[in-house]
Structure 1
């Protein structure tokens, strides 16, 4: 007499067999910047070359992305297989054991990575995140308007020259504002710009005893200058604007000048996106009393959380997305002007890239000039690494809270001095709580 397995068991076995051969789905958290959007569009190329791996994208605004991935990795939530993280998080998280090392091979050519970026993403000599694109900051301006106004910038330009140009060309009735700058609160939003301004005015976040310096004269000078500059010569609602909002304004021809990430140059010089693509010129980040810390250093990178159970597939994806071959793929599909920059020597050495990227020399010069090393990043010695941030875990909360105060000052909700005083009190409390000083 034959025995038959129960129908439910047959179904369970069939389902188990199906799962054993199912595609590996990689959930990738990334930021909604142009180069990341382009990477998503190129998904079919990766999936075709890697059958059995499917990519699922979670695309978030910059501040939301930081909150989501930080919470997930700290709690070992396991929502994401690949995370887009910054130069700030990489060394802190790798030291905590939260990230898996990046497995590179000869074809990847890790020695082709720009030294400053590779160093910033390594811990004890091992790469823990792979750079997708990197940036410094610089001044981007309308050369046609500068020529008409008879304005010539120094090398590097000064913030006083920036203010003078803004005042001369600000014409809201004609839809042109003298300057566009970040105002949206966030340690990686308005505080990225404002920290570099504070640096070049001779300030710092913390002195060598880790005491916050936010109520110091350099902060008062820098923030006062910034608020006055934008109120008189910036677009309305500037306290809500960050990179993407200012990019849209510049591309529409509404900004005479903009100090922001060098990566913006590849978009504002593209005639398919920008109405002023043929009218843009570039200069180094503006300085005040010192060039130290005047231009930031940042990279967006792909990393694998230590808790990931799909490490092999994640490694394949990261090697693909940050490789020379990926750069060549973007160039083939959309032209050399569209490639992600700031990471590889070979990109800048490529004559095809040099031919179309009028911004390349200024961009690389800015990246090479940025110095995030502790003791060298600010005029008075500082105990922390980082240019537009302090590379300590507590900075994320401090930077965001201070960013809210600075945005409120820009919006006219609180006086500058009150915003700085409130920020100083809050920062002191957090640093004492963290055990940095009593």
Structure 2
């Protein structure tokens, strides 16, 4: 009996050892709670089947919280994460600091040259790729075709802000909880300030002049912020100062927004009948302009990177390669349909007839991405790169502070003039402390 028991226990021990050996590398992945990333987590069996020695642990966070946690971890060399979801702002800055691993282990069949040049360029430093794009985006107008028609209007492919404001007010029916426009109001350098900075560019505004002097005391910023606050007061939903991407997506999909100007990546969600009550009533247009030669659209890629502090860089690059590959796009298409694959990363996707047929927003997305120029983001010359952000390390803190000031103005806590004066003072103080202003 003892011998049999020993044999049984030995078998269990071998099984346990075998299981441990198979899952010997655990990757901790920090990501944002956007729909495409949530979907990715449901499909990872495809990865773990092919890599039985790697297991995955997810830390899924709201956008502002993700940025804070990931920045703190990498700056302090905390080593909490093996794969980070970061964006076009962080990649070149962090790569320059030596905080990211160069992605030279993505595999022979990854096809780096297939990545869209506009997206790849923002993730590259000195010719090396430091993050792989999971999805790329610009911004555009998504609008209700039925409400536009009811208002007696026709949306141009390339509207002006004047047209958008007029249409928003005409589509608003507050008694029936229908609001002409939903725009970001939640504070954050990548939340309300992504929208407001891109919008301000089209009004002729800029964050800094060529000598790094903040420009919130100039008439272009006053025009942009006043336009936004007035429009949201007249045609926006209540509580807009708490609304970011996900909150406005929910409002639009529930039929409460006439127009939503936001990330092109949202197109597949607003046209998906499983997600949206108005899926068959959505049209698309380029982000608006003011006739000054700049549209209010941005350029961004949520991307996967490997922190230099990870002890599992080889396994991490395997995962990054899988999640941003052509194979992954095919996998999503097989499960969810071509319209729902992560957009904006690969040239081949925009030459795929199945995708073009399934995604009525494909060409508008590509045109929006290609029209954003991070090296010349504004009407007047500037010393910085970046469309909806300024590519300097200090911007994360400054942008969040200004975002909080402008969000408070949207909530009715201060006037546009007071908000701009505060933004000017706060930004001047930080830029002086950082040595940009002598």
Cα distance in structure 1, aligned partners of 2:128 and 2:366: 24
Measured at CA, do residues 18 and 139 of structure 1 come closer, stay the same or move farther in structure 2, by a change above 3 Å?
closer
Summarize the alignment of residues 82-121 of structure 1 with structure 2, pairs less than 5 Å apart.
Answer: 82-103=83-104, 104-121=106-123
Is the contact between residue 29 and residue 58 of structure 2 (CA under 8 Å) also seen in structure 1? Answer: yes
TM superposition shift of 1:362: 0.6
Cα distance in structure 2, aligned partners of 1:427 and 1:261: 27
* Mean Cα deviation higher: 296-305 or 344-353: 344-353
Alignment partner, residue 425 of structure 2: 425
- DSSP-derived class of the 1:281 partner: strand
Is the contact between residue 21 and residue 53 of structure 2 (CA under 8 Å) also seen in structure 1? Answer: no
Alignment partner, residue 390 of structure 1: 390
Cα distance in structure 1, aligned partners of 2:196 and 2:44: 36
**Residue 404, structure 1, aligned to residue 409, structure 2:** no
Runs (4 or more) in structure 1 with deviation over 3 Å come to: 14-22
Is the contact between residue 254 and residue 276 of structure 2 (CA under 8 Å) also seen in structure 1? Answer: yes
Alignment partner, residue 413 of structure 2: 413
- DSSP-derived class of the 2:181 partner: coil
Cα distance in structure 2, aligned partners of 1:31 and 1:245: 14
Spell out, residue by residue over 1:64-110, the C-alpha distance to the aligned partner (whole angstroms, 9 max, x if none): 00000000001100000000000000000001110001123331000
**Residue 133, structure 1, aligned to residue 143, structure 2:** no
- DSSP-derived class of the 1:178 partner: strand
- DSSP-derived class of the 1:358 partner: coil
Equivalent in 341, 345, 361 of residue 339 of structure 1: 341
Cα distance in structure 1, aligned partners of 2:71 and 2:293: 32
Alignment partner, residue 5 of structure 2: none
Is the contact between residue 293 and residue 377 of structure 1 (CA under 8 Å) also seen in structure 2? Answer: no
Cα distance in structure 1, aligned partners of 2:42 and 2:389: 32
Cα distance in structure 2, aligned partners of 1:291 and 1:114: 24
TM superposition shift of 1:16: 11
TM-score normalised over the length of structure 1: 0.94
- Which consecutive unaligned segments of at least 5 residues does structure 2 have? 1-13
- Which consecutive unaligned segments of at least 5 residues does structure 1 have? 1-13
Is the contact between residue 293 and residue 378 of structure 1 (CA under 8 Å) also seen in structure 2? Answer: no
Alignment partner, residue 79 of structure 1: 80
Equivalent in 165, 187, 190 of residue 189 of structure 2: 187
Alignment partner, residue 436 of structure 2: 436
Equivalent in 356, 363, 381 of residue 361 of structure 1: 363
TM superposition shift of 1:291: 3.3
Spell out, residue by residue over 1:20-63, the C-alpha distance to the aligned partner (whole angstroms, 9 max, x if none): 77521000000000000001011111111101100000000000
Alignment partner, residue 69 of structure 1: 70
- DSSP-derived class of the 1:282 partner: strand
Alignment partner, residue 252 of structure 1: 254
Cα distance in structure 1, aligned partners of 2:273 and 2:101: 40
Alignment partner, residue 169 of structure 1: 171
- DSSP-derived class of the 1:78 partner: coil
**Residue 54, structure 1, aligned to residue 55, structure 2:** yes
Cα distance in structure 2, aligned partners of 1:155 and 1:102: 38
- DSSP-derived class of the 1:341 partner: coil
Alignment partner, residue 44 of structure 2: 43
Cα distance in structure 1, aligned partners of 2:418 and 2:18: 65
- DSSP-derived class of the 1:256 partner: strand
